[in-house]
Every structure is written in C-alpha cells, then in structure tokens.
Amino acid sequence: MNLIDRFLQYVKFDTQSDELTNMTPSTPGQMIFARHLEAELRELGLTEITLDENGYLMATLPANITDREVPTVGFIAHLDTSPDMSGRHVNPRIVKNYDGGNIVLNKEDNVVLSPEEFPELLHYVGQDLIVTDGKTLLGADDKAGVAEIISAVDYLKNHPEIKHGKIRIAFNPDEEIGQGAHKFDVDLFGADWAYTMDGGEIGELEFENFNAAVAKVTFKGRNVHPGYAKHKMVNSMRIANQFVIMLPRWETPEHTEEYEGFYHLVGMEGTVEKTVLTYIIRDHDRDRFERRKKEFEHLARKINHEFPDCCTLEIKDQYYNMREKIEPVMHIIDIAEEAMRQEGVTPKVVPIRGGTDGAQLSFKGLPCPNIFAGGLNFHGRYEFVPIQSMEKAEMVIVRIAEIVGKS
C-alpha cells in the first residue's frame, strides 16, 4: 500500500476527540484506528509493537547499522481529529493538476474552495490536491502525518541500502484536546529525540510555541427584586463586563500575529448571582507570559477593592515554549533542515501560535520539534492537502534517518 492509499483509508476512521468524556482515549474510534494500525505495523514486520489501554501505539524499525552506536530517533503523529467539525463519513476526492480556479466541494450546499478566500491555493497550481466533499473536515491533521510515518518506515525497510539507526514511531490519542502527551511513556519510547509530523504547509519546521495558561474568573453577586434593588443588588454580570474591558483591547487573537501574545475570552456564563469568565493566556516569551498572569491577579484585586470578596481567580498553566528545551540540542533542527534541503524543500522556521504534543514531550525529557505534514485549512470543510507535499514529508523522514545514521 502506498502513501496516498494509506491516507485515503485512514481518513475513513471517525476519530474525533471529545474533551467532555474524561477518558483516554476520549472516544472509542481512536482505539479502533489504533488497533488497525497495530495490525498494519505487524504486517510490515516492525518490532517492539505495543498498544496500551490508553491508545498509545509504539513500534520499532530496527537499526541496520551494527558496527557502531547510532542515536535512536523517533517520529510521532496523533490519531484524533478536531472536535470542531465532524470527522464521520469523510468522503475525500483528488483534484488532479489543480488549475488555480475555484474548487466546488459541494454543489448542493454551494461550498466552494476559492483562491480568493484561500490564496494559499495558488501555491499549489499544477499539483494534485486531496479535498473534502464540503460536509466534513478532511483529517490531514494528523492522518497525513500517520500515513507519512508508516510509509517512510516501509520505504526504509524496503531499501536496506539506506543505513539507519533504530527508528521508533508512536501514534497517540487526544492531541486536539490538549491531552496527547499526558500519558505518553517517554521511557518506554526510548528515543534520544523525536519529531512530531503535525505541521502545516510544506517546509514548516517549528521549535517554538506559546506558553499557555487557562484562567477561570468567578464573580459573586447578590440578586434582589429589581424594583427594590437600590444599594442592595450586586449584578455579577456587570462586574464581569467591567473586568473584560479592563484588559488591553488590542491584545486579543484577532489583533495579533507571529510572536505577539494575547488574552482570549473563550467562555462566558452568568446570572445576577454568579458569572464565570474563561480565558486562555498565551505568549511566546516566558517573562511576558508571567506578567500576563500577574495582570489577571492585579485586576482581580482591583475588582475586590471595589466589590469586596466578589472575585475569585484560578489560573492553571497548560504548557510552555519548547524552545528552552530545544536550544541545547539545536543539532536536531539542523538535521531536519538538511533533510528538507536534500529533498528540494526550503525550510520555513516559524513559531507555532498554539501548542503541540512536542512541547509537552520536550518538557518530559524528549526534545521534539514539529515538521510539516502538508495540510492546510485544518479543522474545517475547506481543509486540503497537496499530494506532492505529503510525498516530500515522507522522504524528509527517510532523509532524517539516513543523516542520523551517518552521524
């Protein structure tokens, strides 16, 4: 089975994750997919195959270098797709030799993938694009990565003239809900470093991501009949609104880019008696990140000065910028860049305006930058992936194994 056949088969599995189940994996479809992959890896003749009760699948392509020690390198992708849109009954199709015009995904619902709205399409004129039918997401995030990793180790197994050390691969659940690395057994994986194949367009190489926290701000009010409320009522919703407008207006996702951080209000639920605001706090710079959390504490104190004992604040760190763990081992970035150049791909080192399993794994002791898998417009009906980008990603994995084998 080749790379594209694998991918088209994999996207048929419904593996949406669900943050409300409090289980690992969070949905049964992920384990069904993991078991399918486990059987495929056994057919390919890989060794040290393990699939635990939480849906973490690992396997080994043994080294074909026996006369010296070679570092063990790993490649990781996630099993789940985003909860943002249905991943059930995915019906992909291939647009061959894309001509630069509109692609009608669904005529009945008038869903059109247009370069006017998605100008990045024009980067792929003349290439073959895998698109959706306009009713679901595609699942290239991250089934493209899964297919690329398995196809790469299959390629290496069938080309013994390419000398390499031990290669470890892993597929984990629940990345899309931020739980992918939580139960990942780094010691069992046993790699010196790894790469997640979970980036976007061709050439992306990422070793910086946001520092991240979630803040829950609760406001306590007092309800009194509005006809007799003067000097008695305390409306928690109005106080919560006061808190919202005290934060910098322009430091929000819709006004920031690149290395700029933000405060993002993601949830608001309230009555006169009680209102809860949920924020995510993001910044690439650790000092600015800490100052952003301090700003929340400062504003909570100001609210409580005006309305005693009204406001309570809970802040929980989620993950940190992996850069501080990658900088001491920058040779792993150099290797990835060289592998891309050997395949005619120009590396694009960009910061991740989000998180990645690699960030959490880096802080668990497994340095783990992120490499492109090729897809674009993730998490929605306009998602697509150029076949040629997937093929390059597969061969970048092969070249990394080869370069490490020569080290």
Tens-digit pLDDT profile for residues 243-253: 999 999 999 99
Long-range contacts of 328-337 (CB under 8 A, 24+ apart): 329/193, 329/367, 332/193, 332/195, 332/367, 332/369, 333/205, 333/207, 333/369, 335/400, 335/403, 335/404, 336/195, 336/205, 336/369, 336/371, 336/396, 336/400, 337/205
Predicted confidence (pLDDT) at residue 356 exceeds the cutoff of 90: no
Q: pTM for this structure?
A: 0.89
Predicted confidence at residue 325, as pLDDT, reads 96
Provide the residue type at 348 as one letter.
Answer: K
The pLDDT value recorded for residue 148 is 98
Q: What pLDDT does residue 19 have?
A: 87
**Does residue 334 register a pLDDT over 90?**
yes
Neighbours of 258 (CB within 10 A): 8
Q: Give the separation between CA 269 and CA 348, rounded to whole angstroms.
A: 41
Contact (CB, 8 A) for 372 and 393: yes
Give the model's pLDDT for residue 175: 93
The 10s digit of each residue's pLDDT in 66-118 is: 889 999 999 999 999 999 899 999 999 999 999 999 999 999 999 999 999 99
Q: Is the pLDDT at 260 greater than 90, yes or no? A: yes
**Is the dihedral angle over the CA atoms 171, 193, 212, 293 positive or is it negative?**
positive
Token pair 């006369």 in the structure block, residue: 67
List, in order, residues 6 or more apart from 194 with CB less than 8 Å away: 73, 74, 75, 76, 168, 170, 358, 361, 366, 367, 368
The residue-averaged pLDDT of 291-319 equals 97
Average pLDDT over residues 373-395: 96
Task: Give me the catalytic one of 80, 176, 198, 206.
Answer: 80
Which runs of consecutive H residues, i.e. helices, occur in 57-134? none
Q: Alpha-carbon dihedral of residues 74, 179, 280, 265, nearest 10 degrees?
A: 130
Residue 279 is predicted with a pLDDT of 97
| pLDDT computed for residue 407 by the predictor | 81
pLDDT of residue 152: 98
3-208+322-405 and 211-318: identical CATH topology: no
Provide the CATH number for the domain formed by 211-318 in this structure: 3.30.70.360
Which pLDDT belongs to residue 314? Answer: 98
Residue 355 scores a pLDDT above 90: no
Look up the CATH architecture of domain 3-208+322-405: 3-Layer(aba) Sandwich (3.40)
38 in catalytic set? no
Query: Is 337 among the catalytic positions?
Result: no
Res 318: pLDDT: 87
Average pLDDT over the chain, rounded to an integer: 96
The strand pair at 348-349 and 204-206 is best described as parallel
Domain boundaries, the chain: 3-208+322-405, 211-318
Residue 41 has pLDDT above 90, yes or no: yes
Strand segments (E) across 132-273: 167-172, 193-199, 204-206, 211-220, 262-270
Q: Is the peptide bond before 25 cis (omega within 30 degrees of 0)?
A: yes
The residue with tokens 């492109």 is: 372
Out of 38, 142, 154, 175, the active site residue is 175
The tens digit of pLDDT for each residue in 129-164 reads 999 999 999 999 999 999 999 999 999 999 999 999
Partnered with residue 274 across adjacent β-strands are 220
Inter-helix orientation angle 140-158/387-405, to 10°: 50
